[in-house]
Structure 1
Amino acid sequence: MVENILEEFKKFLSEPRNLLILSHKNPDGDAVGSALGFKHILTAMGHTVTAAVPDAAPGFLKWLPGHKDLIIFERKNGKKAAAEAFRTADMIICVDFNSPDRLGDLECLFRAGTSPTLLIDHHPPQEQFTDMTRIDPTRGSTAELIYLMAVSLEMEAMISPDAATCLLAGIMTDTVGFKVSCSYPEIFETVASLMRLGGNKDRIYEEVYGQFSSDRMRLLGYSLVQKMKIIPGTGAAYIDLTRAELKQFNHKKGDTEGFVNYPLSIGEVIFSVLFTEQEDHIKLSLRSTGNFPANEFASRYFNGGGHLNAAGGRFFGNMEQALKHFEGAVEIYQGLLTNSKS
């Protein structure tokens, strides 16, 4: 099946095409790195390629090669540029999301489109919404999947240093610097190949993990000292931040990236959740260690999903209600949490 899809895609690319690459709202390193990396590769093959996302990425990703050409739908002229890209696309390639609602305000344009569609993703599938799919939840990132596709399709010679850097950034950020979803040797073979192709590991680390603002560091300290709560006897912990608290520290998009991982450094904690208040809902980032299913928990209680050890969710209500709902759910999962700790 996979071979058939790859052959069909390769045949499609045998003549110059107009291609549109889409990724999800609140784009992270894998979303942006995958979209831009694939754009560089396909452009080098002679295709006309546009990449678009619903809203802006965090500031620590804006240095990635090609970011300045990324269509951001929520910005001025973004809607017009996106509509034109959909109109002229011979194919729409979706990367790093498993449900069309992850496209946010771009979903309407996507559903109205008539071009053939391809999904490349590493999240467990939720629904079939494209004509072709290349999904592999065993991989740590979509960026890794794109590199492997490029190799299978004999495109490796088209991977420039810029493309390699984008894909490497996707892998490094989605595995949290090779801490999660990377316990298999093939991922490091991919990393080595991308570095040989010019992927700049050192710059990625410096830009992603070494450019924090003083406000962000103070927010982190406040979160750990004042807002982190460990639920006794469960192995679960959480941090909750309201909009007022975020404003107090001049919060910018991406500032809370990674906060959810800190409680997992505590010996007794195997499940950590970050609650951040948004304009119309509470956003959850869930992380776990071992075999505790963060994705199942998110899906069952918080309108979310993701991977075994990394998931996201939403709660429609206020923070107090969200935390009460969470603590009730932790009680239900007490047995599994206890077994996962042993």
Structure 2
Amino acid sequence: MHELTRPVIVAPMAGGPSTPALVRAAAEAGAMGFLAAGYKTPQAVEGEVRQVRGVPYGLNIFVPVPAPADPRPLEEYRRRLEPEAQRYGVELPPLRLDDDDHFAAKIELAVAYEIPLVSFTFGVPQPDVVRALRAAGSTVLITVTSADEARRALAAGPDALVAQAGTAGGHASTTDPYAYRGTTVATEVLASVRAVTDLPIIAAGGTGSAADVRRLLDAGAVAVQCGTAFLLADEAGTRDAQRTAMLSGASTETVVTRAFTGQPARALRNRFTDAFPDAPVGYPAIHHLTAPIRAAAAAHGDPEALNLWAGTAFTAARPAPVADLLAALSQ
């Protein structure tokens, strides 16, 4: 478990922000960085893994979400998205209900490369998956948002848990997206998860200062996972439109939304989140539906139809080398 002795973890941020350069810079500055396997092909993930070998690092993998039993709400949402597609001059793809994000191939890759840390989001992997990773020398983490989810995760035999609060930016790892509201704070989730296990727990959500990090470490976390604080890092692959939106001062709040992907996620409030406050549950089908709209908005530098993932401490984020950002969180 030596990998968990570093007090700050740079969270995996799928969709671009997590880069090999960010991971290497974090490791060299005394933190632990995660590559984000989500949405990438196994070949792309392997290429990134090769770039970070030799430093402490982790890989985050999405657990496949079962296809919805009733696709009708997704079909209706597709019809509601048509005006947005027309606005940006794109066509919506057909519904894609089954997508395991190359889960098995990514597990094989993690085993083959003996990746030091492997974390899971969106669910609990099967115990045989966890055993295979541990046999290869990996420390296995499962992300949870409540004590009940922690109990289910423990049955798989992980080495540690990530206790993710509702204040965290990006996707919630909740397995109950219908009920999730994102109202919890990190100290609360950490305490509830600690109450059901003696395993090491990493706290995540709403951290923007050294005081935030220290508070969670003092509350019993073995490490604190921060993502939003590094979105503007020089080494991050964050889109220009998001960097501009975060630096402009125009964004004043975040919301929990399913509008972009069908899974609750915290993002900067914009026109798109306002337009679809009642988007259905349906990850990753909705992710695929909105992808052309988001790509076109990004190409035009328009933040109003982009998934601007960010946690509640987003106003504390600033542009700088990751080493400087880590120093500020460790004062």
- Structure ID, larger Rg: 1
Q: Which has the higher contact order (CA 8 A, sep 6+)?
A: 2
TM-score with structure 1 setting the length: 0.30
Name the structure with the higher helix share: 1
TM-score with structure 2 setting the length: 0.30
